[in-house]
Amino acid sequence: MNAKDKRTLEGMLMFALRVSKRTNGLTYERFISDVDIQDAILYALGQLGEKASLLSNDFREKHPSDEWYSLIGLRNRLFHSYEDISLERIYEMACNDINGVIDLICEITGRMLDYS
């Protein structure tokens, strides 16, 4: 893995962990009622997608995953079709899918995290 891809993955991990931390114990009702929390999570998810788009083609060929393209697609929707975003789906992704992204990055980089 080249140095640029490694830095990109580290940045992705940072934003994914921010989402995970922000959603720990977060109820849907609180998420819907707090625009600051929404903004923080939407920003971090957008940055995840932006960074995924910076991964080299060589890296994506060596580490194929639908996650890269899902994150890039989410970033494009967040930044270009904001009014069409389902906050319910964002909440579900942030609470339920983010750990899969974290696990994927940790598996590739050899990092180990303790979720407890």
Per-residue pLDDT tens listing for the chain (116 residues): 788 999 999 999 999 999 999 999 999 999 999 999 999 999 999 999 999 999 999 999 999 888 888 898 888 888 787 667 889 999 999 999 999 999 999 999 887 665 54
Let me know how many helices (H) and strands (E) the chain has, helices first. 7, 0
Tokens matching residue 38: 């929404």
Q: Is residue 23 part of a domain?
A: yes
Q: Is residue 114 part of a domain?
A: no
Closest C-alpha among 93, 31, 95 to residue 67:
93
Question: Domains in the chain: how many in total?
Answer: 1
Tokens matching residue 63: 């580490």
Q: Is residue 115 part of a domain?
A: no
Closest C-alpha among 48, 91, 55 to residue 71:
48
Its domain, for residue 86, covers 3-109
Q: Cα 114 from chain centroid? A: 18
